[in-house]
Amino acid sequence: MARICPNCGRPAIDEQSQFCNKCGTPFPDDQPKKVVVRTMPRMAETPQAPPEPSLPPVQIYAEPPAAPAPAPLRPKVRAPAKKVPARAMSPESPALPFKKLIARDFIKPMYWLGVLCILVVVFSAISADLAKTGTGTGSGTEPESDASSGDFLSAIPFFWIGVMVFANLFWRVLCETSAMVFAQNAVPAAANDARGGEQEWLSDEEIPGYNGGAADEMVSCPRCGKIVPAEELETCDECGIQGCSSCVRKMGLLKSKWTCKDCFQKK
């Protein structure tokens, strides 16, 4: 049994040694066996677990004040339609000195009466010229000889024929202008008579074509997939496919019709 130094705890080299080789302490004769007592428990050689991450401090935000409740929507009402005043025709007006315009009701008979007067005047002038030409020649047999010899065209008064044509044309234009003026003056008065002098109040729902201000429905083009308004989709007259304005267009010189790009390339 090896001896152990009671001072430094070094064991002896051999059993016959009497002193410690390190510190020189003599070995006792009857030395009890040294018992080493652990003061700390044995721990497993495992890595220490990392510390848990600390959570950031919770920040408390002040809630914003609640927005006030929106006011109820009022129905939109259009402004009353303005009454169009009729054009008054007073006898004191210098432009219209007559109380009643008879030409407005009798424009067509007056036109035909004017045409008849023009014809009567022209034919009277032609007859007078022919009679004057006949008396100037002396005898009544000479005009017959002139007519038989082909000189009849020289006796026709082309001047009075031109007067008849241009007079009728001018009279027709004058009557048409008067008729248009009478029609324009009669439109505001007729509108006021139909209303009866009352103001019309129309709501948005009563207006034809009003959709409440809603936006047009957006759909996907079946051909290219582009999002377009539903009103923009057109149908090809050849194959029947629908598409937007970029896919289906009106094509053709003599007879234009809706045609898609595929049908146009096939042609």
At 119-175, the pLDDT tens digits run: 999 999 888 888 877 676 554 444 444 444 445 555 567 888 888 999 999 999 998
Residue 167 CA to residue 125 CA, distance in Å, equals: 14
Q: What is the per-residue pLDDT across 3-55, written as a single tens digit (0 to 9) for each?
A: 788 788 788 777 777 788 788 788 777 655 556 666 666 665 667 777 888 77
> To the nearest whole percent, how much of the chain has pLDDT over 90?
7
Give CA separation, 36 vs 39, 64, 102, 140, in Å: 9, 72, 148, 183
DSSP secondary structure letter of residue 11: B
| Cα–Cα separations (whole angstroms), residue 48 to 43, 120, 221 | 11, 134, 64
Q: What is the pTM of this model?
A: 0.33
Does residue 248 sit in helix, strand or coil? strand
